[in-house]
Amino acid sequence: MINETMNKAFNDQINAELYSAYLYLSMNAYFEEQSLTGFANWMKIQVQEEIAHAMGMYDYLNSRDGHIVLEQINKPECTWNSPLEVFEAVLAHEQHVTSLINKLADVAESQKDRAAMQFINWYIKEQVEEEATAKTIVDKLKMAGNDTNALLLLDAELGARTFTAPVIG
């Protein structure tokens, strides 16, 4: 059975993961409105990933006889001026999520919950990938500058992304 402190920390992180999905859905809508269907696809896949991350924690908490408490999800940003601005926001958000995952790991360590520590390690590794991917896209958008052809090539590249359900844990 999971203790109350760890239970609350997981519930907080589930909420943060669902907020991430909501934010990326908002970004998806922005790209759909801009007719950048590849960028929109990338965001839609990201929505699925974030929901999978939340559900991984949800299932883990249930397996530890925890108590799920779903809180209100905050309204995400919905206005950006460019694809670069969107992906700079993605990178900043993923860096924030990394700090939240690290705090979750800190709670697990302070509670000496080795099972939770082991489980959280998957998320720590995942965040390294999330940040690196966002940074790469930011860098490519900066290189593209105002070149519409380069933007459309990147749009096509991002449109090829497919969802593969993560194996969490």
What pLDDT sits at residue 53? 98
Domain that holds residue 71: 4-159
What pLDDT sits at residue 98? 98
Q: Is residue 132 a part of any domain in this protein?
A: yes
Q: Is residue 141 a part of any domain in this protein?
A: yes
Q: Is residue 124 a part of any domain in this protein?
A: yes
CATH of the domain at 144: 1.20.1260.10
What pLDDT sits at residue 65? 98
Q: Is residue 30 a part of any domain in this protein?
A: yes
Q: Is residue 12 a part of any domain in this protein?
A: yes
For the chain, 169 residues long, give each residue's pLDDT as a single digit of tens.
999 999 999 999 999 999 999 999 999 999 999 999 999 999 999 999 999 999 999 999 999 999 999 999 999 999 999 999 999 999 999 999 999 999 999 999 999 999 999 999 999 999 999 999 999 999 999 999 999 999 999 999 999 999 999 999 8
What pLDDT sits at residue 169? 81
Q: pTM for the full model?
A: 0.97
Contacts of 127 (CB under 8 A, 6+ apart): 94, 97, 98, 101
Based on the structure, what is the number of domains in the chain?
1
Judge contact between 21 and 54, C-beta under 8 A: yes
- Dihedral of CA atoms 25, 26, 32, 33 in degrees, nearest 10, equals 170
What pLDDT sits at residue 75? 97
What pLDDT sits at residue 44? 98
Q: Is residue 136 a part of any domain in this protein?
A: yes
What pLDDT sits at residue 104? 98
Q: Is residue 167 a part of any domain in this protein?
A: no
Question: 166: how many CB neighbours lie within 10 A of its CB?
Answer: 14
Q: Is residue 169 a part of any domain in this protein?
A: no
What pLDDT sits at residue 129? 97
